[in-house]
Structure 1
Amino acid sequence: MNYTLHQLMIFQKITETSSITKAAEELHLTQPAVSIQLRNLQEQFDIPLTEVVGRRLVVTDFGWEIAAATEKIIQEVQGINYKTAAFKGLMSGKLKISVVSTGKYVMPYFLAGFLKEHPEVDLKLDVTNKAKVLESLSANEVDFALVSILPDTINVEGVELMPNQLCLVASKDFDLTKKVFDEQVFEDITLIYREEGSGTRLSMERYLNERKVAVRKKIVLTSNEAVKQAVLAGMGCSIMPLIGIKNELKSGELKVVPVKGLPLVTQWNLIYLKGRKFSPVGKLYLDYLEQHKSDLIEKNFS
């Protein structure tokens, strides 16, 4: 057996993504390079690791056995690296954070300084919708989760970071002759929604339901970026977090539509399971937030 750690790491990413293309993207490699390494690894075994069914890559039962062993090997190697760094006097380890999709405009600003101070720390940052964020937190797969609405089904603690304002947003061609609109405006526009499970959608639906607003025309899109592009193109309006559109507001490409009862204000919270025992890296990051949170907010979001 002459397989390498590099091949095993690539195979692990292929099993995670079920796709050579996605694995290549996440590893910052070319697709042919990933395919070659998978083929070289496969040559070490008489039993197939993967199969192609239709156009889809499928990991075989034997492949999953190798993937499980690979994960243990990689964890042991990372443990060696962390111990080496510790003997050099460097703080090392892995920090795993899951972030709701709009949180990608927030979380990097609370991580950049910490990672510069501790270059040996490995960061895994997963950006997805609220339902999947809470699922990974509940399963204890991550250290922290960034959400704008606290869950009522999981017992959590956390750190309040900053307010999250949501406003009705329209393209630059929207007529703003009225100083303030009432809820009737939602019956006259096409309203663009996020997908089910999104915290932004939940806040928007609560607002509309409380005011018994009937939305006649609506579109559902699966990411905040897709919603922003649709609003920019004039397909409709949406209630969106201002944090994700500040550049478009400054340039005049998007407008905030003043409506009674808006903006909605939620709170960005970095949460974790109550009673969780943190690694030294997790504890260090909590201390970093407590010390630098106010300065980071003032510098980046004032």
Structure 2
Amino acid sequence: MQPHQLEYFLAVAETGSFTRGAERAGVVQSAVSAAVSQLERQLGATLFERAYHRVVLTAEGEALLPRAHDVLAAIAAARDDVAAARGEVAGTVVLGTLAFTGPWNIADLLRDFQGAHRLVAVHLRQTIAGSATSLAEVRSGTLDLALVSTHAETLPGLRLDEIHREPMVFACDRDHPLARRTEVSIAELGELPFIDYPTGWGNRTVVDLAFAGAGVARTIRTEVTDFRLARSLVCRDLGVTIVPASAADDSMAAVRLREPLEWTVKLARPSARRPSDASARLAEAILALPRHRLAKTTGHPL
């Protein structure tokens, strides 16, 4: 049994697809299919039920899943220990990140980190499914670390450290009737067509809870996963939105919300697994980022 067989098995199991598993592993699909088939022959068991457009773990596959994580974690720990004996930090870290990270640039973070730790490879994976998925992947071991947006203080199996917090603002076209207001309330916004973000995104959760708390229903006309696209739609008066203050720009009107909604970015780490030295060093670098606090008196970053 080879480590790459277990890596490819996990990639397929966690993406539900041989195609997406191969994309995650960075190899061609035929290599993943061959490795999984060989693993099945070695174990004398079928690990996946292969159906049209769907791959599901068998009972044997479910049994292998936690063991595969354990084996790969043990191999990574062995590499760490050998590197540590030479006075080095080496290894691979899989870092999940948000599509939008507020006022600081993750590329700058990675440049500085790689300059200080040249034997560490950071695999950056930007989520298109939202923070809920990233949190689950940190818990399962698919991600070593993740930048997430969540209002939760604690979650089972995870350690959460806040690295950024800022107010959220109401954003609309500059000619919108509410554009010249200094403040609006959630209760005033229920009839407006909203541009929002998919369920599972941290900012969507904050806004959903605010409307539910106010007892106000709203109409979501469009869902997007790109703040730039949202701004483009808003400034053409195709809908309104609520975004972190640093996501607003001069193309739109940004108005303070009477309700104090906040967007929070946190670093998620597993609490039940020993982190690799490389993962621990990257976490330290992220937690050392300068804290940005944006004023709550305006819709634009200060």
Q: Is this contact kept in 1: 2:169–2:242, CA < 8 A?
A: yes
Q: Is this contact kept in 2: 1:158–1:269, CA < 8 A?
A: yes
**Which consecutive residues of structure 2, in runs of 5 or more, have no partner in the other structure?**
294-300
How far residue 90 of structure 1 moved from its aligned partner, in angstroms, is: 1.1
What residue identity is the alignment partner of 2:168? L
How far residue 214 of structure 1 moved from its aligned partner, in angstroms, is: 4.3
* Range with bigger deviation, 234-243 or 279-288: 279-288
- The aligned residue for residue 116 of structure 1 is 115
How far residue 218 of structure 1 moved from its aligned partner, in angstroms, is: 2.7
How far residue 168 of structure 1 moved from its aligned partner, in angstroms, is: 2.3
Q: Which residue of the other structure, out of 16, 19, 22, is the alignment partner of 1:21? A: 19
How far residue 39 of structure 1 moved from its aligned partner, in angstroms, is: 3.9
Q: Which residue of the other structure, out of 29, 35, 48, is the alignment partner of 1:50? A: 48
Q: Is this contact kept in 2: 1:180–1:260, CA < 8 A?
A: no
Q: Equivalences for 1:115-154 in 2 at 5 Å?
A: 115-121=114-120, 123=122, 127=127, 129-132=130-133, 146-152=147-153, 154=155
Q: Which residue of the other structure, out of 218, 221, 235, is the alignment partner of 2:220? A: 218
- The aligned residue for residue 193 of structure 2 is 190
Q: Equivalences for 1:1-302 in 2 at 5 Å?
A: 4-42=2-40, 44=42, 46-92=44-90, 102-103=100-101, 108=106, 110-121=109-120, 123=122, 127=127, 129-132=130-133, 146-152=147-153, 154=155, 160-170=162-172, 175=176, 178-180=179-181, 182-183=184-185, 186-187=189-190, 189-205=192-208, 207-208=210-211, 212=214, 214-215=216-217, 217-219=219-221, 221=223, 224-225=225-226, 229=229, 232-233=232-233, 235-243=238-246, 245=247, 249=249, 252=251, 255-259=252-256, 261=258, 264-270=261-267, 280-281=277-278, 284-285=281-282, 287-289=284-286, 292-294=288-290
Q: Is this contact kept in 2: 1:187–1:213, CA < 8 A?
A: no
Q: CA separation in 2, counterparts of 1:51 and 1:224?
A: 32
How far residue 152 of structure 1 moved from its aligned partner, in angstroms, is: 4.8
**Offset from partner CA, 1:101-145 (integer Å, 9 cap, x none):** 644986835454224322444657674545455667788997766
Task: Evaluate the alpha carbon distance shift between residue 75 and residue 187 of structure 1 in structure 2; reply closer, same or farther with a 3 A threshold.
Answer: closer
Give the TM-score taking structure 2 as reference length: 0.67
* Range with bigger deviation, 257-266 or 234-243: 257-266
Task: Evaluate the alpha carbon distance shift between residue 295 and residue 267 of structure 1 in structure 2; reply closer, same or farther with a 3 A threshold.
Answer: closer
Please state which structure has a larger fraction of its residues in helix.
Answer: 1
Identity of aligned residues (%): 19
CA RMSD of superposed structures (Å) = 4.6
Give the TM-score taking structure 1 as reference length: 0.67
SS at match of 1:16: helix
Q: Is this contact kept in 2: 1:162–1:267, CA < 8 A?
A: yes
Q: CA separation in 1, counterparts of 2:167 and 2:217?
A: 22
**Which consecutive residues of structure 1, in runs of 5 or more, have no partner in the other structure?**
none
Q: How many pairs align?
A: 286
Q: Is this contact kept in 2: 1:170–1:257, CA < 8 A?
A: yes
Q: Is this contact kept in 2: 1:170–1:237, CA < 8 A?
A: yes
